[in-house]
Amino acid sequence: MSAKHQSPTDRVEALYLELVAHYGSGDDRELRAAAKLLLVALAKFRAHGGRRWELLLDQYVDIIKHDPERFERMLESNSGTASDELEA
């Protein structure tokens, strides 16, 4: 599937894999790649999330901590779609 036809979630996953490859055989390369994506995502949340960006962030963190199955469903529902937002 070309990048043009991938969902935003699929493109982020591809970027993650590219970052992992960038770190080569280094220690914690998966964690380092995920941290890079998280840092950028947090900056975008703060810049574009309005005054209540922290509340939205806390909601997502709460879901992944307390209802991981729901979080997985959210990721799956956003893979292969044209939406740029996670559906809660």
Q: What would the pLDDT profile of 5-25 be if each residue is shown by its tens digit? A: 788 889 999 999 999 999 999
What band does 87 get if pLDDT is binned at 50, 70 and 90?
Answer: low
Task: State the total domains in the chain.
Answer: 1
Q: What is the mean pLDDT of residues 62-74?
A: 95
What band does 3 get if pLDDT is binned at 50, 70 and 90?
Answer: low
Structural domain includes residue 20: yes
Structural domain includes residue 41: yes
Instruction: Note the pLDDT of residue 76.
Output: 86
Structural domain includes residue 88: no
Structural domain boundaries, residue 70: 3-78
Q: How far is the C-alpha of 75 from the C-alpha of 87, rounded, in Å?
A: 8
Structural domain includes residue 87: no
Structural domain includes residue 71: yes
Structural domain includes residue 21: yes
Residue-wise burial string across 36-66, b where 16 or more C-beta atoms lie within 10 A, e elsewhere:
eeeeeeeeeeeeeeeeeeeeeeeeeeebeee
Structural domain includes residue 13: yes
Structural domain includes residue 83: no
Q: pLDDT (tens digit, 9 = 90+) per residue, 24-62?
A: 998 999 999 999 999 999 999 999 999 999 999 999 999
Q: How far is the C-alpha of 12 from the C-alpha of 37, rounded, in Å?
A: 9
